[in-house]
């Protein structure tokens, strides 16, 4: 029961993370190209992206350790790398998504230290776009749509 609740929360929260990350990345790219000024709204969007991605990371870490899939490590050991599904859920998805959240954090932190709007938007656009690509690359699409 607990596992199913955490799994549902992780899945539904992922929609929010993707939506806000796409919004934030698009906002940064659009305003960088348009040479617009950085404002309070831009700060809130980038901060909200940081917050929701960190919440998703915490939910995901909890899910990782309560998941029945975690027991596959005991059964297969190093053989997990030979099983494509087990490797996706136990190695690739968690590690790549942790890297994506780290990139979001770095991009957010670096943009705060920049003085000009262009430099702020450039940092956000680069780091958030790479994080978005990484997240999209490791979503288990076959199970997510079901």
Distance (Å, rounded) from C-alpha 56 to C-alpha 106?
17
The residue segments making up the domain with residue 93 are: 2-144
Among candidates 115, 96, 143, 130, which has minimal Cα distance to 24? 130
The pLDDT tens digits of the residues spanning 10-58 come to: 999 999 999 999 999 999 999 999 999 999 999 999 999 999 999 999 9
Could you give the number of structural domains in the chain? Answer: 1
* Global confidence as pTM: 0.90
The pLDDT tens digits of the residues spanning 45-101 come to: 999 999 999 999 999 999 998 988 777 766 777 777 887 888 888 888 999 999 999
Highest-confidence range of 70-74, 122-126, 140-144, by mean pLDDT?
A: 122-126
Measured CA angle at 119 (ends 117, 124), to 5 deg: 95
């Amino acid at each position: 029961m607990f596992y199913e609740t955490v799994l549902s929360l992780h899945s539904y929260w992922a929609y929010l993370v993707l939506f806000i990350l796409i919004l934030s990345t698009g906002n940064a790219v659009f305003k960088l190209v348009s040479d617009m000024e950085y404002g309070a709204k831009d700060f809130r969007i980038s901060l909200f992206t940081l917050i929701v991605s960190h919440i998703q990371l915490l939910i995901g870490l909890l899910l990782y350790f309560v998941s029945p899939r975690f027991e596959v490590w005991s059964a297969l050991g190093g053989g997990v790398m030979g099983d494509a599904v087990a490797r996706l859920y136990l190695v690739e998805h968690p590690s790549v998504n942790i890297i994506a959240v780290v990139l979001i954090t770095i991009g957010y932190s670096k943009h705060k230290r920049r003085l000009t709007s262009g430099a702020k938007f450039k940092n956000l656009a680069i780091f958030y776009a790479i994080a978005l690509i990484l997240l999209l690359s490791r979503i288990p699409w076959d199970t997510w749509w079901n």
